[in-house]
Amino acid sequence: RMDSEKGQFSLIYYATEKGAPEVELTHNWSDRAYTGGDQFGHLAFEVDNIYQVCEKLQSLGVTILRPPRDGHMAFIKDPNGISIELLQKDGALESAEPWASMENTGSW
């Protein structure tokens, strides 16, 4: 945790273990109201097989906002409507059906 009196904010870092990748949360000390915002910032996760992960998530009812048509990147929607990026580990997989022929289902 790091508090900035001058900036009037706190940064809180979470990781699964020391030295592991961190998630940084920002808490602004002002009383202003927050909305969903523009969601410019988002979480991204590297996966071993983007097609298998998307297939599993879709079977569980998760909305695929941007299908992994290119074998490299996809976006899903969390329960709060925020986008989460999925990235294929070690580059892109070859295009595969049904993902290769899917049209955009979201705003991408």
Q: What is the mean pLDDT of residues 41-69?
A: 91
Total domains, the chain: 2
Instruction: State the pLDDT confidence band at 106, using cuts at 50, 70 and 90.
Output: very low
Query: Domain holding 90: CATH number?
Result: 3.10.180.10
Q: Which of 56, 40, 95, 58 is nearest to 73 (CA)?
A: 95
Residues 90, 48 share a domain: yes
Domain extent, residue 67, equals: 39-108
Active site residue 85: yes
pTM over 0.85: no
Residues 54, 22 share a domain: no
Residues 70, 22 share a domain: no
Q: 46, 85, 94, 103: which one is catalytic?
A: 85
Residues 43, 9 share a domain: no
Residues 55, 106 share a domain: yes
Q: For residues 61 and 76, what is the distance between their CA atoms, to the nearest angstrom?
A: 11
Residues 54, 26 share a domain: no
